[in-house]
Structure 1
């Protein structure tokens, strides 16, 4: 999932600064807790989400700070495996799964890819938003910094030196996810800021199923193990 390699009043610069703040041990207003407790706290914060809907601003920057991409995204989550990630601009794309099948629809390219969904092989961001903290804790050292009474910053550092990421930072305000910052080993940064958040509001199961448009020019690439399904029955 190329997008998953998931705004507010805060600007991208300020959120990035928040992500770096956890490494400043001399910050007297913050309290750092141990890895085990940090994992438990992150688990509790994410476990409270049965459904989550938000508008997302994605900002990808290179190591020098130059902007590579800025996107507007609609994101919806429904536990245990409902995941919806629709890029609205600048280039439309939809990635959605119901827990069994993964659809990737790119209308500009007239292409639809279909795959079997395996949550164990999903990207880190999907695991985080899906609350798979136990699996994450096996691969990352997790540090939690209490920034304010109900504001927390979590810094994840990979245990494997060959990891794609140098670190990942999650920021919660009033115990609600506000941003995720992924820093690659090559210095590239991907920032997601969540706004207009709706927590535990009803979301129909049909949201996480995709019906292919009736278009003779649509290129359907079906990589499922059982690819005998008819496109118009998706």
Structure 2
């Protein structure tokens, strides 16, 4: 936009269109998220480096409940459990018999799972949101307004209004794609899933 500083009128017109597009995209995303009080299913997560080479792939199941509650259970190849009850976040490694515990943070840049369970107005405040639609598929791209976070871009993909995948690109160019399957929304989820009680003998590490 700096290149066209001399074209003040054109610049203002473009800014108006961009602001309108962002507002419409945020409104449409809000409709999808407002219709999704809870979500559960299975996931396949693939991590690629900046050159596109697969670094790791994992599978598991998840539960999300807005706002701020999630259960992200990686079963293969290395078991790991991430749980939040909107007050604390637990990261449990059964192989190491350790659990890292820290207070829940409202920093949307920290944990991608939080983005799916947060209030959309917070998303709108912290991200530039654009929308691309093709048939029944909608793709929303969220770019952080503050760039020093853990990731540079988040893409949410909806098919016929249902969240089907999300993609995260970090500051090093690494791409993480989570494809969702057997997804159910607005089911009654057990509250105990969002609170972690360490098994006997587990080392508790508080951050």
- TM-score > 0.5, shorter chain as reference: yes
Deviations 1:25-49 (A, max 9, x none): xxxxxxxx71001001101101111
Structure 2 residue 38 is the aligned partner of structure 1 residue 54 = no
- Identify the residue that residue 189 of structure 2 maps to in structure 1: 203
Contact 2:38–2:186 (8 Å) recurs in 1: yes
- Identify the residue that residue 170 of structure 2 maps to in structure 1: 184
One of 164, 171, 174 as aligned partner of 2:157: 171
Change over 3 Å in CA distance of 1:110–1:181 after alignment to 2: same
Report the alpha carbon displacement of residue 209 of structure 1 after superposing the two structures with TM: 1.4
Gaps of 5+ in 1: 1-32, 224-234
Give the number of aligned pairs. 188
Gaps of 5+ in 2: 1-19
TM-score with structure 1 setting the length: 0.74
Deviations 1:150-171 (A, max 9, x none): 3211112233344543432111
Deviations 1:108-128 (A, max 9, x none): 111112222233466252342
Change over 3 Å in CA distance of 1:114–1:124 after alignment to 2: closer
Structure 2 residue 205 is the aligned partner of structure 1 residue 193 = no
More displaced stretch, 163-172 vs 85-94: 163-172
Contact 1:58–1:191 (8 Å) recurs in 2: yes
Q: Which has the higher strand share?
A: 2
Within a 5 Å distance, the mapping from 1:144-163 to structure 2 comes to: 144-148=131-135, 150-163=136-149
Report the alpha carbon displacement of residue 184 of structure 1 after superposing the two structures with TM: 2.3
Q: Aligned-residue CA RMSD in angstroms? A: 1.9
TM-score with structure 2 setting the length: 0.83
- Identify the residue that residue 13 of structure 2 maps to in structure 1: none
Distance 1:112 1:93 in 2: 10
Distance 1:120 1:163 in 2: 9
